[in-house]
Structure 1
Amino acid sequence: MIDVHSHIIPGIDDGARTMEMALEMARQTASVGVTHLVCTPHMHWGTFDNTVEMIQEGFNALQTAVAEEGIALNLSWAGEIRINEMVPAWFKEDKLPYLGQKNGKKVLLLEMPHSNMPAGLEQLFRWLISAGVQPLIPHPERNRDVWKRPEKIQWLRNQGCLLQVTAGAFTGRFGEQVQAIAMAMLKDNQIDVVASDTHDIKRRPNDMGEAFEVVSKAASKEKAEALFIYNPAEIVGVPVA
């Protein structure tokens, strides 16, 4: 499986706090069947003021440690960018780290607040897409505005966004309401990618293996392979057998 969303680089956001913890996360991630993990620390202006340079430095140290420990996990890096007024400026200054590409556009993991869908989204999405950037929205199933108005999920798709559901949503880690939304999105073909969004090995471990089985039973193995392997592999540019 190809996992495009994780907080495993130690010490730079609310994920792994130490290198030891990051290595435990890498082992756990590999144990559930993930072969390639994208490290996506938060870029959240005023909260986690990470830069491309900071992420690259942390990634290099993590990659070296994973190799030294002999953990069978390939790594790459990008970022999870919180929607804010700085995004267009960061784009113009080439300060945005991308997951990869899809249909000739650079894919950006672009996070909404959990509490709401902020004003101006339509204009931001239109601007990014016209500039050659494909928004990939993580965990819409955990957004409170979506809880109130599930039709907002299709609205996001109508704006041209790709959608990434968290693996733990399928396993019930975030409660019955979130699980129900994820299952409805699966039924309605509204999911492009499933990813772990792992932060640690206990509270937010990598649930990709268990979620793959849930999706296989609820839909089909072919659908699970598309969401957990082939679609993310296409974005990241990872060859799959």
Structure 2
Amino acid sequence: MSLVDLHCHILPGVDDGAKDLPMALNMARAAVGQGISHILLTPHHMDGEYTNHKIDVLRKTSSFQKALNESGIPLTVFPGQEVHLTGDLITALNDDDILFMDEGGKYLLLELPHSGIPEYTEDMIFELQTRGITPVIAHPERNHGFQEDPDRLYDFVTRGCLTQLTCSSYLGVFGDNVEKLTTKIIRSGMGFAFSSDAHNFKGRRFLMRDAFNKLEQRAGKDVAARFNNDARAILNGDEIVRPEFVKISALKKKRRFWLF
């Protein structure tokens, strides 16, 4: 199956991902080699270090797609942002400076600070949802708040949030603890889509096919297919059919999950 990548820092020269166009094109070739056919370009936005305004990302995405076509690389890219949780988010929304994961403005890739979960997170999520926006929490498995208390993720998913798990997390690139938490999120039913979060050719690289192979072996073909179908649905702005999910602390009490 062709894979959809919803989180990737391949757009050249805009953040800590691809430094220039030659690097971006080589990363694109690596992505295709991993079975990826569509990528949502998600440069960092409002994270305190990088600001990538909507109008600039739109222009640069168009230019990058042209370069891909001219290089004969069979990859389709879409404009997006990895939007950092900040008190300025609502202002940016009002100023039309936010790109969504879909053209209809339904799904927003939301990055929480790695250090934890700010006190105002729930209020911000509620505000987004009153606007018809579904937050997709980027790499929750790498957030210290969820690592310290994994059941907090249950609260957010119960509120209607989705999650985007990083392939390299599932494969142990960020260490055993992150790999274990990623596995538990999948087992609990709170994982919705894999993405590469690729930045370079070293640790932060495209490992989509590898992660899907592991997912299929551990959780079965149906779960692997759902992850990719969910990614495609998010990109298209379609509704997600949510599976049954439980708190991570309840996993050991449910025998049916032991097979994972």
Give the TM-score of the pair, scaled to structure 2: 0.87
In the TM superposition, what is the alpha-carbon distance from 1:170 to its structure 2 partner?
1.2
8 Å CA contact 1:35–1:72 kept in 2: the answer is: yes
In the TM superposition, what is the alpha-carbon distance from 1:105 to its structure 2 partner?
6.1
In the TM superposition, what is the alpha-carbon distance from 1:46 to its structure 2 partner?
3.4
Distance (whole Å) between structure 2 residues aligned to residue 234 and residue 160 of structure 1: 16
In the TM superposition, what is the alpha-carbon distance from 1:98 to its structure 2 partner?
0.5
8 Å CA contact 1:122–1:159 kept in 2: the answer is: no
Distance (whole Å) between structure 2 residues aligned to residue 174 and residue 38 of structure 1: 23
Once the two structures are superposed, residues 209-239 of structure 1 have per-residue CA deviations (whole angstroms, 9 ceiling, x without a partner) of: 0000111011011111111x21111111299
1:19 to 21, 26, 35: 21
Structure 2 unaligned segments of length 5 or more: list them: 239-260
Identity among equivalent positions (%) equals 31
Name the SS for the 1:61 alignment partner: helix
The residue number in structure 2 matching 1:91 is 93
Aligned residue type for 1:210 = D
Structure 1 segment 79-158 matched on structure 2, within 5 A = 79-100=81-102, 106-158=106-158
Aligned residue type for 2:235 = V
Q: Say whether residues 1:55 and 2:54 are aligned partners.
A: no
Q: Say whether residues 1:232 and 2:231 are aligned partners.
A: yes
The residue number in structure 2 matching 1:30 is 32
Aligned residue type for 1:160 = G
Aligned residue type for 1:231 = D
* Dislocated runs of 4+, deviation >2 Å: none
Give the TM-score of the pair, scaled to structure 1: 0.94
The residue number in structure 2 matching 1:208 is 208
Aligned residue type for 1:226 = R
The residue number in structure 2 matching 1:66 is 68
Name the SS for the 1:210 alignment partner: helix
Aligned residue type for 1:205 = R
Give the length in aligned residue pairs.
236
**Does the C-alpha gap of structure 1 residues 148 and 5 become closer, same or farther in structure 2, counting only changes over 3 Å?**
same
Name the SS for the 1:179 alignment partner: helix
Distance (whole Å) between structure 2 residues aligned to residue 5 and residue 175 of structure 1: 20
**Does the C-alpha gap of structure 1 residues 23 and 176 become closer, same or farther in structure 2, counting only changes over 3 Å?**
same
Distance (whole Å) between structure 2 residues aligned to residue 54 and residue 47 of structure 1: 16
8 Å CA contact 1:134–1:161 kept in 2: the answer is: yes
Distance (whole Å) between structure 1 residues aligned to residue 192 and residue 203 of structure 2: 25
8 Å CA contact 1:125–1:160 kept in 2: the answer is: no
Structure 1 unaligned segments of length 5 or more: list them: none
Structure with higher RCO (Cα < 8 A, 6+ apart): 1
